[in-house]
């Protein structure tokens, strides 16, 4: 997974002009200066690892996760008992998508310091990715008890959203925004982006756009804010603005889902050639994944299945992803890849698993509805398709239209009572 992300990032980021030093850049510089005079101090290497982790999230460049891991490994060679290095291992492994390793590392750190809130943050994240939501909820609650604040609020908000409490999620994201430190603009921008995502999931386009615009005001050219605002503008039919925003996001971080979304915006605007160029780039990323034995995960799976390209490869990648994590979104990607390969009964089981928490997300219901329709389960299909469009009629630039078409095609007399 990492090799693909590093390569894709390097191909497009290398051409960008040098930018002013960011907070993470300054943190890296300070850590490197400290190392210059304290090369054998484990704490100096831990500080460098933390700076690399901050830069990874700020820039979207996953190469920094590898650099963070190397810095931590050096710290632990110098001092195997350095608790800060020990507890930071889980954080780094989460960034590398080694969720089982992260869980083991977080458990080790918790045994050493059971009252450290950081350990419960890492435990929450690991359990979420591994699909053990009761344990994730317990860890998040313990974190909230120990230290309420932005890290706790955002994790609690995400879990509330997963369990269908959108109002509670929005309230907690607002708390996270208010709790953010002015000295940490990336964390504030990150919280605002996720607030925007939550509003978008509810079909509240104006509120979603406002949140993403606030994120960009805090951190100009923030790749997550650009992509989030682009999705809103596309849903509003403002395709020229959406294309410009998506292009800027891709220039910053060429993530496959954003490249694909740019292609969809071009397609909706009637520029098939430009759309195909973006789609070909995502397929190229999938080819790198196949050649190196890595995957970019769900993003490539959903792109291939959505656009009816390389269905067998979509399923291979989905199964690879499902071998490493068992969260609802991985189950959804697997369901959609199975559907793309005509394996509808297996797809239905995976879609059922994706909806096991009752998460009110339009794409999950759309996939479940399309799979049910393929199986001839028309009542089930109508229920899910209607739910998808009720949650957010603009949930996806291409798939929302397909959901409406699928619902319109279900015109049997037996369904009249459901209409």
Q: What is the pTM of this model?
A: 0.88
Domains of the chain: 1-97 (1.25.40), 148-245 (1.25.40.10)
Q: Which tops the pLDDT comparison, 143 or 297?
A: 143
Are 373 and 398 spatial neighbours (Cβ–Cβ below 8 Å)? no
Residue among 93, 95, 94 at smallest CA distance from 59: 95
Residue 143 is encoded by which pair of tokens?
A: 């974190």
> Could you write out the DSSP letters of every residue in 129-191?
HHT-HHHHHHHHHHHHHH--SHHHHHHHHHHHHHTT-HHHHHHHHHHHHHH--TT-HHHHHHH
pLDDT in tens, 26-70: 888 988 888 787 888 898 999 999 999 988 887 777 788 889 999
* Alpha carbon distance 205, 234 (integer Å): 10
Length reported for the chain: 419
The answer on pLDDT for 208 being more than 70 is yes
Q: For 314-337, what is each residue's pLDDT tens digit? A: 999 999 999 999 999 999 999 999
Q: pLDDT tens digit string along 150-179?
A: 999 999 999 999 999 999 999 999 999 999
Rounded distance, CA 346 to CA 331, Å?
11
Phi, psi of 182 (to 5 degrees): -60, -20
Answer yes or no: is pLDDT of 12 > 80. Answer: no
Residue 202 has pLDDT above 90, yes or no: yes
Q: What percent of the chain has pLDDT over 90?
A: 76
Per-residue pLDDT averaged across 98-125, rounded?
A: 97
Nearest Cα residue to 158 out of 189, 127, 185 = 127
- pLDDT attached to residue 9: 42
Residue entry with tokens 């891991």 = 69
Tens digit of each residue's pLDDT (9 = 90 or more) over 267-319: 999 999 999 999 999 998 887 766 655 556 889 999 999 999 999 999 999 99
């Amino acid at each position: 997974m990492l090799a693909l992300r590093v390569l894709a990032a390097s191909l497009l980021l290398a051409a960008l002009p040098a930018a002013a030093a960011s907070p993470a850049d300054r943190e890296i510089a300070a850590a490197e200066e400290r190392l210059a005079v304290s090369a054998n101090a484990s704490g100096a290497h831990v500080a460098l690892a933390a700076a690399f982790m901050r830069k990874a999230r700020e820039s979207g460049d996953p190469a920094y996760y590898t650099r963070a891991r190397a810095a931590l490994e050096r710290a632990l060679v110098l001092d195997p008992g350095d608790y800060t290095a020990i507890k930071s291992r889980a954080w780094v492994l989460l960034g590398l998508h080694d969720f089982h390793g992260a869980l083991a590392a977080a458990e080790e750190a918790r045994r050493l310091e059971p009252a450290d809130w950081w350990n419960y943050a890492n435990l929450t994240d690991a359990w979420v990715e591994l699909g053990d939501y009761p344990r994730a909820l317990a860890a998040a609650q313990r974190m909230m008890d120990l230290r309420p604040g932005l890290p706790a609020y955002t994790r609690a908000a995400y879990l509330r959203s997963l369990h269908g409490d959108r109002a509670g999620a929005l309230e907690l994201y607002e708390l996270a925004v208010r709790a953010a430190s002015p000295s940490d603009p990336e964390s504030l921008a990150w919280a605002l982006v996720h607030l925007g995502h939550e509003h978008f999931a509810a079909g509240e386009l104006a509120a979603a756009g406002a949140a993403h615009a606030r994120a960009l005001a805090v951190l100009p050219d923030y790749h997550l804010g650009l992509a989030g605002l682009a999705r809103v503008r596309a849903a509003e039919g403002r395709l020229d603005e959406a294309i410009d925003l998506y292009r800027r996001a891709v220039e910053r971080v060429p993530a496959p889902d954003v490249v694909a979304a740019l292609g969809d915006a071009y397609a909706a605007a009637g520029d098939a050639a430009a759309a195909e160029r973006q789609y070909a780039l995502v397929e190229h990323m999938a080819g790198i994944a196949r050649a190196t034995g890595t995957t970019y995960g769900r993003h490539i799976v959903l792109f291939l299945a959505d656009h009816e390209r390389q269905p067998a490869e979509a399923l291979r990648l989905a199964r690879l992803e499902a071998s490493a994590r068992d969260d609802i979104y991985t189950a959804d990607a697997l369901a959609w890849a199975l559907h793309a390969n005509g394996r509808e009964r297996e797809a239905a089981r995976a879609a059922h698993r994706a909806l096991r928490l009752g998460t009110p997300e339009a794409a999950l219901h759309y996939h479940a509805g399309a799979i049910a329709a393929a199986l001839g389960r028309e009542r089930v299909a109508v229920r899910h398709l209607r739910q998808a469009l009720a949650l957010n009629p603009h949930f996806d630039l291409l798939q929302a239209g397909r959901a409406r078409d699928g619902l319109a095609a279900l015109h049997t007399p037996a369904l009249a009572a459901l209409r």
